Amino acid sequence: MEPSTQKLIHTFGALADLGQEIAGTGDFNEMVRTSMHMLLGTLALRRGAVVECTEGGPLRCAALWGLSDHIFEGFEINDAEKQSFLQGEANELLVGSTAVSNSFINRHRDRLTAEGIELVLPMIVRGEVTGLILLGGKASGEEFSGDDFETIRAMVRHIGVGIHTHRLLEQVAQRAEENRRLYDDLRAIYRDTVRAFAAAIDIKDKYTQGHSERVGKYSEIIARELGWSEEEVEGIQIAGYLHDIGKLIVDRDIINAPYNIDAKNSSELNRHPAAGYEILSPINHPYADIPLMAKYHHERLDGRGYPDGLTDEQIPIGAKIVSLADSFDAMTTDRPYRRRRSFEDVVRDLRENSGKQFDGKVVAAFARALLKEVNGDTKERRITKMLGKNYLEGEQVPTLLSDLISDLEEVSRKGAKAQSHS
Amino acid sequence: MDTPSGKLVRSHCVGTTAVVYASDYLNKLTGEKIERECRRQLSGGCRALVIDFSDTKLVNSIGISILLGIIDVAEKNGARIAFSEVNNETVQLFEMLGLTRHVVLAKDEREALLNLSHYETTPIVH
């Protein structure tokens, strides 16, 4: 093979490898080091370095080979020197030439010569000097030819663009990270605000303090048990916190009446889901359907709920979850006109009303989550903690829950079978 | 020493000369392993290095740069280097790029060791 052909093949191979390296998504420092090796190896240069311009003038070494580590201590470039690189010709980049007018090379000539640097090339991206590549002499001892200059310039352009692109990507990643943190902060602020609202709602009703917060937590637990995504779980929790926000427009005396209220007052109280929807609709929530969950949390599968008398399929699943969480908390907390119900009684209610008031699948999911806590299958004790000490004591609790789950699953299986036959 | 493919970089010592075997493709991954092995041998007291290319089909630009680095370190340690069993294409590449100005080219490992043997009596210059 002719030496010139072999040289071309070697150079093309190096350019192809360089393109691949620069386009890669690997470690930045490794990319620069490898690119420099490719440049040095193409012309068999014995030493070299890649330095980046930083703000204020100091040059930062990104890679070096065959040079002492301290060569770049106090090394800097000013704006005028960058300008002289933009205007200079190829022969202006040779350190050994005394005719060089490049002010950077003239200022650092002694240091560069002592380190065996023969050529200094600027990395120019969009008309700006972003760094320098310093190169030692050829292993052959020959001087740089015109072809060598062309090859080196092409590779330096590649490396310059590669470094610039990687730096931009780093900045983009950094900004994305900052935005993510800001977004997380905003979400935290939103959640805290919502919880403050929930507390404000509950303060209006002196007998149900902490109710909205508990409904939010129960709703979250049920949604998680149903396999919802983290985003959806957060959304249902917020809906739980805000489900009673419509009570803000209901007369405090009606809410706090220590007896069963009459039809007129009941009608006033029953306005709160629709009022909640009116309050929540204009807000651009980061989660879907929160106003609807508030509006429909008193709907029933049998159509006897309010405000719209929707039936099973018409009720959003989120509203079904909030409905169960709301009723469960109402049954398991003291009210002005009654003590809270026993757990056995609550389970009986859930069984009897599954398919009428509550969705059986939602009840089963809640029961599963509670059974996991009772059996110690999970370290979390969130439901049991909300229910308070001693409430779930008794050997029959796991059995009650297991039986409820089995019964509901059986109903669900039969329902699915009947549906497939029809 | 492990290579990325899980193979070892083979090496052995004959007196104070270390023989290091290059792999089939001298690129970044394998080149750096060989470089480290050469540095290890030199810092361990070797006065000469033979890099055997009998398995090497191709040397790319990074391979060249790494070999130059090895030559540099060897020169700084006052050690000599021989390349043995280099195929014709790679010999042409080394000649074209000027590597042969800095190393002895030998037909095989035995010839390389012979070439370097007289050097063993010379003390190491650190």
Listing DSSP states for B80-113 in one string gives: EEEEES--HHHHHHHHHHTGGGTSEEESSHHHHH
Single out the residue of A329, A270, A279 nearest to residue A300, CA to CA: A270
Q: To the nearest 10°, the Cα dihedral for A262, A268, A271, A273?
A: -60
> What mean pLDDT is predicted for residues A77-81?
87
Contact A356, A302 (CB under 8 A): yes
Report chain A residues touching chain B, CB-CB < 8 A: 1, 3, 6-7, 10, 13-14, 17, 34, 37-47, 65-66, 138-142
In the structure encoding, which two tokens stand for residue A78, read together? 């000013």
> What mean pLDDT is predicted for residues A193-197?
88
> What residues pair up with A338 in beta bridges, in sequence order?
A335
Q: What's the confidence (pLDDT) of residue B58?
A: 87
d(Cα B84, Cα B53) in Å, to the nearest integer? 6
Q: What's the confidence (pLDDT) of residue A126?
A: 87
Please provide residue B97's backbone torsions phi and psi, each rounded to the nearest 5 degrees. Answer: -90, -5
Statement: residue A291 has pLDDT above 90: yes
Q: Which of B96, B98, B102 sits opposite A6 (nearest CB)?
A: B96
Q: Show me where the domains of chain A are located.
A: 3-175, 205-421
CA distance A114 to chain B (A): 16
pLDDT tens figures, B57-77: 889 999 999 999 999 999 988
- pLDDT (tens, 9 = 90+) of chain B, 126 residues, equals 444 444 568 899 888 899 999 988 888 878 889 999 999 999 998 999 999 999 998 899 999 999 999 999 999 889 999 999 999 989 999 999 999 999 999 999 999 999 888 655 444 443
Query: Which of the listed CATH numbers 1.10.3720.10, 3.40.50.1860, 1.10.3210.10, 3.40.605.10 matches domain A205-421?
Result: 1.10.3210.10
Most confident of A88-102, A275-289, B88-102: B88-102
pLDDT tens figures, A377-392: 999 899 999 999 889 8
Q: What's the confidence (pLDDT) of residue A274?
A: 92
CA distance A135 to chain B (A): 12
Q: What's the confidence (pLDDT) of residue B64?
A: 95
Contact B19, B48 (CB under 8 A): no
How many CB atoms neighbour CB A199 within 10 A? 14
Q: What's the confidence (pLDDT) of residue A422?
A: 65
A261 confidence band (pLDDT: 50, 70, 90)? low
d(Cα A166, Cα A22) in Å, to the nearest integer? 9
Q: Do A139 and B93 touch (CB under 8 A)?
A: no
Q: Which of B30, B39, B61, B89 to mutate to test the interface with A (most CBs of A within 10 A)?
A: B61
Contact B74, B119 (CB under 8 A): no
How many CB atoms neighbour CB A92 within 10 A? 16
Single out the residue of A298, A330, A328, A332 nearest to residue A315, CA to CA: A298
Q: Which of B29, B66, B68 to mutate to test the interface with A (most CBs of A within 10 A)?
A: B68
Q: Do A37 and B66 touch (CB under 8 A)?
A: yes
Q: 């229910």: which residue's tokens?
A: A387
Helices (H), A296-359: 317-331, 343-353
Q: What's the confidence (pLDDT) of residue A296?
A: 97
CATH (residue range A3-175): 3.30.450.40
> What mean pLDDT is predicted for residues A282-306?
92
Contacts of B102 in chain A (CB under 8 A): 139
Domains, chain B, ranges and CATH?
11-121 (3.30.750.24)
Q: Do B65 and A10 touch (CB under 8 A)?
A: no
Contacts of A141 in chain B (CB under 8 A): 98, 101
Q: To the nearest 10°, the Cα dihedral for A259, A263, A269, A272?
A: 150
CA distance A182 to chain B (A): 41
Mean pLDDT of chain A: 88
A24 confidence band (pLDDT: 50, 70, 90)? confident
Q: What's the confidence (pLDDT) of residue B5?
A: 46
Q: What's the confidence (pLDDT) of residue A415?
A: 79
> What mean pLDDT is predicted for residues A350-369?
97
Q: Which of A39, A41, A46 sits opposite B63 (nearest CB)?
A: A41
Strands B80-84 and B48-52: parallel
Q: What's the confidence (pLDDT) of residue A197?
A: 85
Contacts of A139 in chain B (CB under 8 A): 68, 71, 97-99, 101-102
DSSP reduced 3-state for A51: strand
The residue of chain A nearest to residue B28, with distances taken between CA atoms, is: A34
Statement: residue A262 has pLDDT above 80: no
CA dist list (Å): A354 to A185, A298, A332, A375, B106: 40, 14, 17, 24, 90
Q: Do A37 and B65 touch (CB under 8 A)?
A: yes
Mean pLDDT of chain B: 85
d(Cα A383, Cα A221) in Å, to the nearest integer? 8
Contacts of B70 in chain A (CB under 8 A): none
CA distance B29 to chain A (A): 10
Q: Do A38 and B72 touch (CB under 8 A)?
A: no
pLDDT tens figures, A57-75: 788 899 999 888 788 888 8
Cα angle at B61 between A22 and B52, to 5 degrees?
Answer: 140
Q: Which of A3, A44, A142 sits opposite B64 (nearest CB)?
A: A44
Q: Do B61 and A42 touch (CB under 8 A)?
A: yes
Contacts of A7 in chain B (CB under 8 A): 96
Q: Which of A13, A44, A47 sits opposite B97 (nearest CB)?
A: A44
Report chain B residues touching chain A, CB-CB < 8 A: 28, 60-66, 68-69, 71-72, 89, 92-93, 96-99, 101-102
Q: What's the confidence (pLDDT) of residue A1?
A: 66
Single out the residue of A13, A27, A350, A33 nearest to residue A166, CA to CA: A27
Contact A398, A374 (CB under 8 A): yes
Q: Do B62 and A6 touch (CB under 8 A)?
A: no
CA distance A170 to chain B (A): 25
| Listed range (A25-39, A199-213, A254-268) with the worst mean pLDDT | A254-268
Helices (H), A332-422: 343-353, 360-375, 382-387, 396-421
Q: What's the confidence (pLDDT) of residue B126?
A: 38
> What mean pLDDT is predicted for residues A237-260?
81
Q: What's the confidence (pLDDT) of residue A407?
A: 94
In the structure encoding, which two tokens stand for residue B62, read together? 């990074």
Cα angle at A38 between A69 and B51, to 5 degrees?
Answer: 85
Q: Do B61 and A14 touch (CB under 8 A)?
A: yes
